[in-house]
Amino acid sequence: MKRLLKSLTRLFPRGFRDRFGEELLDQIEQDYDDARMRGLGAAAWTTLATAADLARSAAAERLRPTWSSHRTEWESGMRSTLNDWMTDLRYAGRSLRRSPGFAVITIGTLALAIGATAGMFSVVDTVLLNPLPYGSVDRLVAIRASAPGSDMPAEFGVSDEFFIQYKEQSKLLEDLSTTNSFTSTARLDDRVERIRMSWPTNSLFSTLGVKPILGRLPVAADEENAVVLSHRMWMSWFNGDRNVLGRTLQASGSTRTIVGVMGPEFRFPNEETMLWLSSELRADRITSPGQFGTTLIGRVKPGVSTQALASELTALSKALPRRFGGNATYAQTIEKHRAVVRTFRDETLGAVSRPLWVLLGAAGVVLLIACANVANLFLVRAEGRQRDLAVRRAIGAGRRNLIWSQMSESVVVACAAAIGAVALAGVSLPAFLRAAPTGIPRLGDVKLNAATAVFTVLLALVCALACGLIPALRASSPDLSRLGDGSRSVTRGRGWTRDVLVVGQTALALVLLIGSGLLVRSFWALKHVDPGYTTENIFSFQIAPEGPSLRTPEAFARFDLDFMRRLRALPGVESVGLVDNLPLNEGTSGSRFRAEGSGTSADAGPRVNFTFSAGDYFKAMGIKVLRGRTFDESDHTTTLGSVIVSKAAANLLWPGQDAIGKRVQMNGSDVWQTVVGVVNDVLQDDFRDAPQPLVYYPLVVAGRPNWAVSSPAYVVKTRRADVIAPEVRALAKAVAPTAPMYRVYTMEGLAKHSLARLSFTMLTLGIASSLALILGAVGLYGVLSYIVAQRTREIGVRMALGAEATRVRRMIVAQGARVIAIGVVIGIAVAFVSTRALSSLLFGVKALDATTFVGMSSSMILVGLLASYLPARRASRVDPIESLRGD
Amino acid sequence: MNLLDGSGMSLLEYHVLLALASGPLHGYAIKDVVAAESSGTLTPRAGSLYRVIGRLMTAGLLVDTEPADAPAHPGLARKYYTLTARGRSMLADEARRLKQAAMMAEKRLGVARSRS
């Protein structure tokens, strides 16, 4: 405390400190000691009061020194300049207070724009600019695969044998690990929850260059018995207990010993990951190659490019069939295989960086428009002061002096705006973050920090400069001839600065309008995509029941059928069904299938996804049954071998034929399944994708005794979808007391969620563009109003000479129209180039969509004309006598 | 309001001069005396106090001295402040002005009271 106070004495000027420093310190010490004897409260109060007093008197001493014996020439020069500046600022503050309307509009406009920009900056700074919390991030890469010309997806995850091969033989890789993420049950005593887990190779930690804050990392000797906790898990399940090491917990069905705890910043592969299970991948454990789907994370040696690594890995993969075997399809896939290597930064931030930069850009554009607007207002204000400035110039005020005294108003406005902006950002940032879609890494860490504060201050200074400099420069060379004439003369000629500003505003506003127009159209298109099912009035959840009686698919089926019967009995429930992978929530797994009589072997057939369903799933979800029937209870209790296929699967397996009664076989099984029904396609993952072919199995499948559907998603069709959760929870608790209920959704919520990223960007850009439109219109209105005011006399003369009101109106509107037209042309040109930045967000509309371009340009022109019409109408009502009376 | 720009004497300035009228004091003692003589309404913190002292010295109303008979203070070479002749007369002027002002106030309040 004392040290803080003592350091504050350094605020005093040197001369003062030399003379009084020692005594100051002495008194501060005595004051503090006296107060301390009276208690802590008194000490705290004294500290505060003394600190405030020191700061205040030091500032006062610097501005109006009392101690003058040691003042240097330079210091006094500085001081007088500073004094002049302060006087100017005080004067500016006073004069702003005299025109509150101007102050409120300029400060409000800038605060809004600076606040939005600063808020977006803090998001971009935290999410994108902050270095990722791993060692030498620039050497980390993500490795996936492609096989152009095969029937594999454009890009897919590798399989385990790739990892072995790369790890052993790559000369460019320093370290390599697998990564994955799944939801499973964790159990500690009687706490049971479904949580996000990861089961990477132990090398994950060394690859990323991270260390635990407690304990150690898993090693090969741990086999599959160790677990590393995330900081979140450590805090929420163990209260941060440091004796957690060595304790055991059940995770994903096995008992594991806690060996380490990671720091709070380590959240990999996603924010929700709660723990990492130990595992070691060995070559001798790979029995069937080609189980694709794993993303590898690698660390390259210094100076290795992604291209160099990709070609090395592509070459290495060619030896895989020779080493690990596999069938002919696998060999063909490998033949066409090309490694896909991406920087780790692109992999983790690539998807979110584009929208975030677009939003920051939009905020920046709004800020530019706001600056142009405010600059315009300052120009108008300076215009009104020409006479006053001419007087000051005439009596010897220097040019720099005049510039500064003009700038000082914009400095005051910008500073006030910056304070307002920080307050605004502080209030609106949390709301903004709540509205943001999930899955943006580190979004939870976003807050107003020092970087944002510095950014805001810099922004405010730039704004002050931008808004004040042009008016100040113009004001600094006032027309001395104005001294002689009356104050109501016509001013012409210098309006071009204002026109340029309005042209710029119009152009920028149009760019934002077109951008948000494109997003609105995409959103509209996505919203009207038919996903193949309805989303209204559907409640969904999962439970993962466990118990000694639940071992076989039949047992699970009996449990599910019974549970669904009870769910159906709940009040207001129309139908109940279940599915293993709920659309929009989970992807489905895929396999190769062959149709009977197709002549190919099963491992060479087309890739089709599969899932399981029971009850009135199709009815509840509103999925149309196109042919045949759906499963009945006997399909789930006995191995009848029925399957239902989607339209796309039927077309793929039996093009042009009726699929009912046809038989199909999955790769790796020797049992044939008979198609009993064909249902409509559904969009499983994303409204943007084309529907995938899908095979639905019943709960019990012949020849697959291990395929227990242990944690399906139950689908409940009811008008009470929003409120039924507690009743369902109670029922679930009754039938499976130890099974946590999780993934509780309404389908409507999921649909909204899947649109979230786009709707969020659209909404934000929409707000930005409406702001831009309003600011642009206000700017145009202001300029034209001003021109009308300036030309009142001229208009009066025209009207006295017989000009009609309509002609006068047309004249003013034409002036506005010219400015808007130029702005629109430039805006379209800029939008032509810049909307490409949005293309990854668009759906069902091209970046150069003519309708949007024309529509938005017309609305810009319309708003502009309206903004010109109002001053024009005023001009046409000028009374010639009134306007001429002044002279 | 301060002496340097001729806009009159502040209350704290007045009390510092008053404290020194009975003899030289060091900084901390000035603070105590000011606090006591203003019935606790003025308890100047270090920064304000030394700024006032600086101002009064610049205006030539006090000087710092190191009196031979001052009690030795272990470890601290304390500066003592003494009123100059000019300081003494300024204090007297201000006291007179305050007295007149106070009398005027009493008179008016008295008149006002008798009227009501």
Q: Which residue in the set A24, A64, A68 is minimally distant from B46, CB to CB?
A: A24
- The sign of the torsion formed by the CA atoms of A323, A326, A331, A333 equals negative
Question: Is the CB of A26 inside 8 Å of chain B's CB atoms?
Answer: yes
The pLDDT score that the predictor gives to residue A645 is: 94
Inter-chain CB proximity B47 and A26 less than 8 Å: no
Interface test with A, best of B51, B52, B66, B73 (most A CBs within 10 A): B51
Whole-complex ipTM: 0.83
**pLDDT category of residue A495 using cuts at 50, 70 and 90:** low
Q: Are B79 and B66 in contact (CB under 8 A)?
A: yes
- CA angle, A526 as apex, A520 and A529 as ends, to 5°? 145
Residue found by looking up tokens 């797994």 in the block: A589
Q: What is the pLDDT of residues A335-393, one digit of tens each?
A: 888 999 998 888 888 777 878 888 888 888 888 888 888 888 888 777 777 777 777 77
Question: Is the CB of A16 inside 8 Å of chain B's CB atoms?
Answer: yes
Residue A133: asked if its preceding bond is cis (omega within 30°), the reply is: no
**pLDDT category of residue A617 using cuts at 50, 70 and 90:** very high
Please provide the average confidence, as pLDDT, over all residues in chain A. 83
The pLDDT score that the predictor gives to residue A819 is: 85
Q: How many CA atoms lie within 13 A of A690 on its CB side?
A: 5
Inter-chain CB proximity A26 and B51 less than 8 Å: no
The pLDDT score that the predictor gives to residue A481 is: 58
**pLDDT category of residue A578 using cuts at 50, 70 and 90:** very high
Please compute the mean of the pLDDT values over residues A664-674 and round it to a whole number: 86
Closest CA to A182 of A253, A258, A259, A260: A253
* Distance between A132 CA and the closest CA of chain B, angstroms: 47
* Distance between A92 CA and the closest CA of chain B, angstroms: 23
**pLDDT category of residue A245 using cuts at 50, 70 and 90:** very high
Q: What is the pLDDT of residues A782-796, one digit of tens each?
A: 777 777 777 777 778
Please compute the mean of the pLDDT values over residues A659-687 and round it to a whole number: 88
Inter-chain CB proximity B76 and A26 less than 8 Å: yes
Locate the chain A residue with the closest alpha carbon to B45: A50
**pLDDT category of residue B2 using cuts at 50, 70 and 90:** very low
* Distance between B54 CA and the closest CA of chain A, angstroms: 5
* Distance between A53 CA and the closest CA of chain B, angstroms: 6
**pLDDT category of residue A38 using cuts at 50, 70 and 90:** confident
Question: Cα separation of A317 and A325, whole Å?
Answer: 13
Question: Cα separation of A244 and A257, whole Å?
Answer: 10
* Distance between A47 CA and the closest CA of chain B, angstroms: 10
- Within A189-305, residue ranges assigned H as helices are 203-208, 231-238
Q: Which residue in the set B26, B48, B58 is minimally distant from A68, CB to CB?
A: B58
Question: Is the CB of A71 inside 8 Å of chain B's CB atoms?
Answer: no
Question: Cα separation of A864 and A782, whole Å?
Answer: 12
Q: Which of A220-234, A469-483, B34-48 has the lowest mean pLDDT?
A: A469-483
Higher pLDDT, A779 or A726: A726
Q: Which residues pair with A646 in a beta bridge?
A: A679
Closest CA to A523 of A685, A684, A688, A683: A688
Q: Pairing state of beta strands A663-666 and A275-277?
A: unpaired
Kindly list the residues from chain A whose CB atom is less than 8 angstroms away from the CB atom of residue B31: 27
Question: Cα separation of A174 and A164, whole Å?
Answer: 14
DSSP notation for A689-742: SPPPPEEEE-SS-TT-TT----SPEEEEEETTTTT-HHHHHHHHHHH-TTPPEE
Q: Are A758 and A551 in contact (CB under 8 A)?
A: no
| Residue B41 three-state SS | coil
The pLDDT score that the predictor gives to residue A84 is: 72
* Distance between B31 CA and the closest CA of chain A, angstroms: 9
**pLDDT category of residue A261 using cuts at 50, 70 and 90:** very high
Higher pLDDT, A626 or A292: A626
* CB burial readout A253-291, b (16+ within 10 A) else e: eeebebbbbbeeebbbbebebbbbbbbebeeeebeebbe
A590 backbone dihedrals φ, ψ, rounded to 5°: -130, 160
Q: Which residues pair with B11 in a beta bridge?
A: none
**pLDDT category of residue A553 using cuts at 50, 70 and 90:** confident
The pLDDT score that the predictor gives to residue A756 is: 73
Kindly list the residues from chain B whose CB atom is less than 8 angstroms away from the CB atom of residue A50: 45-47
Percent of chain B whose pLDDT exceeds 70: 78
Q: Are A196 and A183 in contact (CB under 8 A)?
A: yes
The pLDDT score that the predictor gives to residue A675 is: 94
Question: Cα separation of A631 and A579, whole Å?
Answer: 12
Question: Cα separation of A118 and A100, whole Å?
Answer: 26
The pLDDT score that the predictor gives to residue B116 is: 41
Please compute the mean of the pLDDT values over residues A11-35 and round it to a whole number: 85
What's the length of chain B? Answer: 116
Inter-chain CB proximity A66 and B58 less than 8 Å: yes
pLDDT value at B82 more than 60: yes
Which residues on chain B place their C-beta less than 8 Å from a C-beta of chain A?
A: 2, 4, 26-28, 31, 45-55, 57-58, 76, 78-79
The pLDDT score that the predictor gives to residue A491 is: 46
pLDDT value at A614 more than 50: yes
Range among A546-555, A712-721, B65-74 with highest mean pLDDT value: A712-721
Please compute the mean of the pLDDT values over residues A67-93 and round it to a whole number: 67
Q: What is the pLDDT of residues A702-740, one digit of tens each?
A: 777 777 787 889 999 999 988 998 999 899 888 888 777
pLDDT value at A482 more than 60: no
Kindly list the residues from chain B whose CB atom is less than 8 angstroms away from the CB atom of residue A68: 58
pLDDT value at A161 more than 80: yes
**pLDDT category of residue A57 using cuts at 50, 70 and 90:** confident
Please compute the mean of the pLDDT values over residues B84-101 and round it to a whole number: 89
pLDDT value at A75 more than 70: no
Percent of chain A whose pLDDT exceeds 90: 18
Question: Is the CB of A35 inside 8 Å of chain B's CB atoms?
Answer: no
Q: Which of A4-13, A482-491, A647-656, A818-827 has the lowest mean pLDDT?
A: A482-491
Question: Cα separation of A398 and A417, whole Å?
Answer: 29
The pLDDT score that the predictor gives to residue A74 is: 55
pLDDT value at A869 more than 70: yes
10 Å Cβ neighbour count for B105? 10
A638 backbone dihedrals φ, ψ, rounded to 5°: -130, 160
- CA angle, A799 as apex, A798 and A803 as ends, to 5°? 80
- Reported as type and span, the H/E element at residue A183 is strand A182-188
Contact pairs from chain A to chain B, CB under 8 Å: 65
Q: What is the CA radius of gyration of chain A?
A: 36
pLDDT value at A813 more than 80: yes
The pLDDT score that the predictor gives to residue B4 is: 46
| DSSP letter assigned to residue A337 | -
Report the predicted TM-score, pTM, of the whole model to 2 decimal places.
0.66
| DSSP letter assigned to residue A810 | H
Q: Which of A17-26, A71-80, A763-772 has the lowest mean pLDDT?
A: A71-80
Kindly list the residues from chain A whose CB atom is less than 8 angstroms away from the CB atom of residue B2: 66
Question: Cα separation of A826 and A483, whole Å?
Answer: 40
Inter-chain CB proximity B45 and A49 less than 8 Å: yes
Higher pLDDT, A575 or A518: A575
The pLDDT score that the predictor gives to residue A520 is: 83
The pLDDT score that the predictor gives to residue B1 is: 40
Percent of chain A whose pLDDT exceeds 70: 94
Locate the chain A residue with the closest alpha carbon to B59: A66
pLDDT value at A646 more than 90: yes
Higher pLDDT, A643 or A711: A643
Interface test with A, best of B33, B50, B63 (most A CBs within 10 A): B50
Inter-chain CB proximity B51 and A60 less than 8 Å: yes
Q: Are A556 and A709 in contact (CB under 8 A)?
A: yes
Q: Are A837 and A358 in contact (CB under 8 A)?
A: yes
Inter-chain CB proximity B27 and A23 less than 8 Å: yes
**Angle between helix A850-876 and helix A805-834 axes, rounded to 10 deg:** 150
- The sign of the torsion formed by the CA atoms of A500, A501, A506, A511 equals positive
pLDDT value at A206 more than 70: yes
Q: What is the pLDDT of residues A166-182, one digit of tens each?
A: 988 888 989 999 988 88
The shares of helix, strand and coil residues in chain A, as percent rounded to the nearest 5, are 55, 15, 30
Closest CA to A185 of A642, A436, A543: A543
Task: Using CB atoms within 10 Å of the CB of residue A867, give its burial: 0 to 12 exposed, 13 to 18 middle, 19+ buried.
Answer: buried
Integer angstrom CA distances of residue A499 from A463, A509, A525: 19, 15, 39
pLDDT value at B114 more than 70: no
pLDDT value at B71 more than 60: no
Q: Which residue in the set A9, A30, A57 is minimally distant from B48, CB to CB?
A: A57
* Distance between B95 CA and the closest CA of chain A, angstroms: 23
Which pair of tokens denotes residue B101? 């002002």
| Residue A643 three-state SS | strand
